[in-house]
Amino acid sequence: MRNIFPLLLVLCLPMLSSAHHSTNVNFTQEIISVDGVIEQVRNMNPHASVLIKHIDTSGAETYWLLETVGRTTLDRQGISMAALEIGVKVTATGRKGRRENTMYLQKLLFADGQEFTPEPDR
């Protein structure tokens, strides 16, 4: 019986370890930019996100989900999601998602030149 406990512990380690995934699973290394208007902001863990509406030259609307680091990381960096107001026009730059219309946000550029730049958790 004593020998079974270490074996069970080793077999259960994958379930006990963190279930969080690497950004490499969901995002490519290709850097893209998309302009649009902020529609929704979700400041939560494990990933905060921003939804923007992009309107192309033909007038077609496309919604983009921009994921970023979690709320705790943003708080530690002193970055406030309150700066991201609904209806504000932005240009988002980041790593293209493997799913359609997704991006891992590296920078939001506002029309007035201000930038919102979350840093990955280190």
Q: What's residue 8's pLDDT?
A: 53
36 phi/psi in degrees, rounded to 5: 180, -170
Q: Say which CATH number the domain at 70 has.
A: 2.40.50.140
What beta strand segments (E) does 1-122 contain?
Answer: 27-42, 49-55, 61-67, 89-97, 102-110, 115-116
Residue 108 within any structural domain of the chain: yes
What are the tens digits of pLDDT across the range 68-120? Answer: 887 787 777 777 777 788 999 999 999 999 999 999 999 989 888 988 887 76
Residue 121, domain member (yes or no):
no
Give the range with max mean pLDDT: 3-12, 19-28, 51-60, 65-74. Answer: 51-60
26 assigned to some structural domain: yes
What total number of domains does the chain contain?
1
Are 69 and 75 spatial neighbours (Cβ–Cβ below 8 Å)? no
Residue 40 inside a domain? The answer is: yes
Q: Count the Cβ atoms, other than its own, within 10 Å of residue 55.
A: 12
Residues 6+ apart with CB under 8 A from 21: none
**What domain range is 58 assigned to?**
21-116
Q: Does a structural domain hold residue 7?
A: no
Total-model pTM:
0.73
Q: Is residue 16 part of a domain?
A: no
**pLDDT score at 52:** 95
6 in a domain, yes or no?
Answer: no
